[in-house]
Structure 1
Amino acid sequence: MDNIAGKKSSLTWAVHISVAVLVVLWLLPTVGLFVSSFRTGDQIATSGWWKSLTTQQRQNPAIRLSGDEVEQDGLFVIEGQLFDASGAEVQRWGTSSRDTEAYAPGEIAELSKGRTVTVDAAGAFRFTSEASQEGKRLPRVFTTAVSPPEFTTDNYNSMLFDEDNSESMARAFFNTLTVTIPATIIPILIAAFAAYALAWMEFPARALLIAFVVALLVVPLQLALIPLLKLHLAIGIGKGYLGVWLAHTGFGLPLAIYLLRNYMVGLPHDIIENARVDGATEFQIFTKIILPLSFPALASFAIFQFLWTWNDLLVAKVFLIDATGQTTVMTNQIVELLGTRGGNWEILATAAFVSIAVPLAVFFAMQKYLVRGLLAGSVK
């Protein structure tokens, strides 16, 4: 009786839980990237983004004491601040790498030759010596400190408004648009014609062509990169926008044709036959009837193709080779940041989040067509 039409399944709760889990799993990386883009490099290096709202404890690297020497009561004194982190509180400190937590804040460390060091909880130090330390190497101090949660917009200021970074990212942004927009439109135009022919036009070997298109869906992208690059170089379109447009078109056509053909086959047959009886040509049927009715499928593939080409790195690396950086796309620019900035993960997180802003906007603007296009032809 549980399968009676109109009666809710007893497993509805399981479906809801599964969907909620999947949504959380998909959102977690994006949320983590967003939070990391507002954290400092030290925070990212010492704790995960999920601890960003809690007090952070970290072992600071060795800090060499420095400052102006002043003579007080027969002693030579140097005072200063170990670090600039506002609100940070020293828990333990030491003067040797073998025991970095030897002293509590306020305790005095007795060093050789009549020298002493003390560090308070705020990170202020006082170094004293019986002899002048001018020109001499002062001792190092290791600290274990805790600091309150800290967020900053300096990462975005550096990425978007710093002259060098903003210029390179802006150029990469427009280069990515130059690659993505044509690489999305061209396969849609070609696939729409091919899908209509495979769905509604009778010609020899049509079934074989459909099977061939389905077979192309499983061809690995990496398998065709080098042969296709050699072909592009041989005909003179390699290392440029035209080559990368055609590469994305070729790799995207099998799915586009398959998706659009399945949708067009599901359109009412009577509409097509009535148009033919009224004297409409195949081109008129295609442009005035099929295309308007197929908009959900077209939008669905456009979302996929736009996201793939926008986030692509491999095809851009192979077909858009430019030593001067004038055609560098955003994914490659982020890789360059990783290479030139080393461990500046806060800048990389910010650049990555900036790069996903456009795909997110496109997805949310057209998501209502996504399911309708994907379910095309699944129900008759």
Structure 2
Amino acid sequence: MTPEQLERFISLRHELHSAPELSGAEGATAARVAEILQAYAPDQVLTGIGGHGVAAVFLGGEAGPTLAIRCELDALPIPEETNLSYASQVAGKAHLCGHDGHMVMVLAVAEALAERRPQRGRVVLIFQPAEETGEGAIAYRSDPKFAEIPPDMVLSLHNLPGLAMGAVSLPTGPANCASRGARIALFGRTSHAAAPQDGVSPAPVLAQLMQDLATLGAGGDLDEDYALTTVTHAKLGEPTFGVAPGKAELWVTLRTVTDEKMQSLSDALVSKVATLAADYGLRHEITYHDVFEACRNAPEAVSVIEDACLTGGVPITLSERPQAFSEDFGQFGKSAQAAMFWLGAGENHPQLHNPDYDFPDTLIPIGSGIFLRAIRSVLG
């Protein structure tokens, strides 16, 4: 990538950064991406995949496999605190996970493919919506339009603060934890605060659950037995002094390395809530939200990424330890060889989802270069 190209892609990244859109509402971002892709004259541009998803198809000269490169479109509902000249212009929303940078790296791949197509097969560039809610990859893969371009292999990356700038960490097995949010609603009966005995308060059960659920998953080593429960929100009654509460809510995030462990953890939570609610004469409901299945890298795809890093002189470490945070990229592994790697954003860089996070522009040629070498390796 020439200095002029890099400056152009940096400018584009800043443009996308300043106009963030949340999961499921990425219409303008998707339209801008599709507009840029059209300028690179791909053989096909598909839009509206799984919501606002986009795909660009570049054909090789001969028959061969299909290799897909995936990135994300969505931003976060977090106010940005950076004072950058290109900071978010949308109140309460910001690209604080680096999806703006991921998009630009894949657009740089598109530009390179416009100049030099693969020898065989085809490349599909995937711009996926709604990663942050765990809904995007499922909707994208379920869309009939995706069935027109089924990939044999899918590669993706995520920038990672805490890892040396430009270095790669590549999981050889489990890559991301499974997670889900459990919303527990408890229903009793209100009463006058002067006569709480005439009602049924969920307060004792709420207090007990906040303690007991923590014992179901205490974290520890990221192995097959790993389980973590994190209380993220609690509400009891209404903000008034005259009414003893009749309703409570508890939000808990469950996290495991494997989907099997997630099922057992969820079962334990359901049993605990049901037992306590019955003991205190409460009705209860449990619903699940932001459901992410575990993500596991396929050996063949891992080998392709490893070779692409080594041939480009990118420092790489193979890891058997997954990331604790979740990713819906694992959905693509259900129908293709799939692998995700972590690209270092700097050891002292603000963490993902921090209000002062910003994607490092120096990663643009590194990430796009790894993808391009992977494409040349698989497709010639």
TM-score by length of 2: 0.25
Q: Which has the higher strand share?
A: 2
Q: Indicate the structure with greater helix content.
A: 1
Structure with max Cα Rg: 1
